[in-house]
Structure 1
Amino acid sequence: MDMLQCMQAFVRVAESGSFSRAAQGLEISSPTISRQVAALEEQLCARLLQRTTRSLALTEAGQRYLKRCKAIFAEIETAAAEASSAQSRPSGCLRLHTITEFGLEYLMPLVGSYIGQHPEVAIDLSLTEETPALLEEGLDVLVTLSLGLPDSAFVAQRLGQIHSVLCAAPAYLEMHGVPETPSQLDGHRCIMLADPLYPQGWYFGEEAIFRFQNVLRVNQPEAACQAAVNGMGICLLPSFVAAKALSEGRLLRLMPTHQLHPREVYALYSSRRFLDAKIRTWVEHLKAHLPRAFERDRLTLENPRYWAAQRVSAS
């Protein structure tokens, strides 16, 4: 027995006062609607309607049950409306994740502007170096940095590309000199940023990997940046960390013709079909603003005023 269908039949009969009128409204036969109401009464072990040849009336149990049925159907309609509006109006909690420094530099400003446009959305943003499972962690959108298109069943929207650049503090370079080729890195103190995508060293090409030993090794880009600023050596920094340090004059760029360790940036989410409006609008927000931020940093990195060869040699 379809309980909801039988409940609907009972409500129609009670409201119309007639099996035949209720049957017409539901576009089914009178015997069918009569069987549905009888099956409902059998299931409930209660008589809901008093029937005569000319009229019918609700029993006391039927009056109470009718009230409950109407409340249930009202809740179902509300739930359907809420689910439908989720496709058109952003609301609810949007759960996001990306790696720490990338999120601090790029996503935090966008979170503020997004909430300003969609005040009915609350943001839950997690920032870690680990990449969590999208569905298992209950995430809506995961922004990943990878070597290529993620091998995933999820939808992947490409947002752009970032890379890493070699940097050092002006004071360090004035004391130790400016290396102009990868081979000239030998003998310099180098700061190793742990990178699972490029684990063996600094990749200047498939056959040109600079490996070094007995160096400071850290697992956070900002820590590598701080070490370099303090004159501890040369470091390889993601563009979004390097651009800020360069523009502030804390570091200078080395070997500007080299763009190392490229990464593709993707937004991952679970499905295109019936996509929740808050997910759709957030991804659109990323696509509209992240490429501009990447371009801003690219222009900083390519500005000769931040290159060591220009600054140190001139001094």
Structure 2
Amino acid sequence: MDKLSNMSVYVKVVEMGSFTAVANHLDSTVGNVSRAVSALEQMLDTRLLQRSTRRLSVTDAGRRFYDRCTAILADLENAEAEARNALLEPRGTLRVHCVPGLARQLVTAAVLEYRQAFADVSVDLLLSQRMPNLLEDQLDVSIQIARVLPDSAYVSQKIGVSHCVLVASPDYLAQHTPPSAPEDLRDHQCLLLGTVDYARDEWQLKSARGDATFVHTGPHFSVNDMEAMSTAVKRGAGIGLLAGFSAIDDLRSGALVRVLPDYYSEERNVYAVYTSRQFVDAKISRFIEALKTHVGNQLAATAAALVGQ
């Protein structure tokens, strides 16, 4: 028996006053109960109980040890109850990483909705383009956009699908003849989005007519942030590739205009990545459910509006 088990048996012996009573209570044997107490006495080099054929009595050292044991076992029971409850009721601090564009457009709103439902959870939302090390960075969830996630020991759940579309400002298109085919893009200022999952020097486009790849040459402007790209496009700098979730409000308001509206980028999956499939903390599992509801539904609606999916 380990130390904590022996302590638990010893507490029962003091409280019930009999090895036999404790053995019956634990569905064990008198010999096992006696050995548990003896093991503690040998470890402590101290007699805890005075034994006679008729009765047990607790020594002064045994009484002090009993008081300590009851406090330790109560703390352990509380810790176990708290840990079990963490799997049922969201509480504590949830540390979330997200790529910036998606965080600004969709995830921040989902976090606020989540906190309204679970006020006992504090959320730290960290924005970065890079894929973090969840363990080293002490993160609970990372929200990523990728065609395929790299192999890792992490667990992932798909939240939805995102596409990029070509857009420009009305002022830019008023001064330049809008392209009617992908090859016409060579006559335009093309603003390049360079992130982990987007090649900086080419656009791979899809449409019902077929696929097309446009390779950029010559002077250009490039950026690795979707919001900065949106700013550049709206200022009339040229044609840019924007994620549908980033562009759709400006397309609806007229601040941006779709270019080559039959074309869009290959789809990227939006994933929630976390560290373990077993014993997932409730704050994590409920947050992923919230992402599927708030972010996943908006991604689906945007895809339906822009690419017919």
* TM-score, normalised relative to structure 2: 0.92
Equivalent residue, structure 2, for 1:308: none
1:183, distance to aligned residue in structure 2 (A) = 1.0
Is the deviation greater in 185-194 or in 1-10? Answer: 1-10
Partner of 1:202: 203
5+ residue gaps, structure 2, are: none
Question: Which SS does the other structure have where 1:148 is aligned?
Answer: coil
2:257 aligns with: 252
**Which range moves more in the overlay, 226-235 or 293-302?**
293-302
The answer (yes or no) to whether the contact 1:204–1:210 under 8 Å persists in 2 is: no
* Equivalent in the alignment of 1:292: 297
Contact 2:193 2:224 survives alignment (8 Å) = yes
Query: Given that residues 162 and 244 in structure 2 are in contact (C-alpha distance below 8 angstroms), is that contact kept between their aligned partners in structure 1?
Result: yes
Confirm or deny: 8 A CA contact 2:202 2:213 kept in the other structure.
no
Q: Residues 7 and 129 from structure 1, CA distance in 2 versus in 1: closer, same or farther, beyond 3 angstroms?
A: same
CA apart distance, 1:129: 0.9
Matched residue, 2:33: 33
Distance in 1 (CA, whole Å) between partners of 2:302 and 2:33 is 69
Residue identity in the other structure for 1:211: H
- 1:145-160 counterparts in 2 under 5 A? 145-148=145-148, 150-160=150-160
1:40 and 1:113 map into 2 onto residues whose CA distance is 53
Change (3 A) 1:28 1:162: same
Q: Quick one: distance in 1 between partners of 2:114 and 2:198? A: 34
The aligned counterpart of 1:233 is 238
Number of residue pairs matched?
Answer: 303
- 8 Å Cα contact 2:186-2:216 kept in structure 1: no
**Match of residue 185 from structure 1:** 185
Map of 1:16-31 to 2, 5 A cutoff?
Answer: 16-31=16-31
Among 278, 284, 287, the residue aligned to 1:282: 287
Q: Structure 1-normalised TM-score? A: 0.90
What is the aligned counterpart of 1:267 among 269, 272, 279? 272
Asked if structure 2 preserves the Cα contact closer than 8 Å seen for 1:95 and 1:141, the reply is yes
- Cα RMSD over matched residues? 1.9
CA-CA distance at 1:301 after TM superposition = 3.6
Question: Is this contact kept in 1: 2:51–2:57, CA < 8 A?
Answer: yes
Question: Which residue of structure 1 lines up, in the alignment, with residue 5 of structure 2?
Answer: 5
| Structure 1 residues 185-206: Cα deviation after superposition (integer angstroms, max 9, x where no partner) | 1221111121332323111267
1:164 aligns with 2:164: yes
Identity of aligned residues (%): 39
Cα contact 2:129–2:195 (8 A) shared by 1:
no
Structure-1 separation of matches of 2:176 and 2:256: 15
> Unmatched 5+ residue regions in structure 1?
304-315
- The CA deviation at 1:153 is 3.2
Instruction: Measure, in 2, the Cα distance between the counterparts of 1:32 and 1:229.
Output: 79
1:115, distance to aligned residue in structure 2 (A): 0.9
Secondary structure of the equivalent of 1:186? helix
Cα deviation digits, residues 150-177 of structure 1 (max 9, x gap): 5333332212111111111111111111
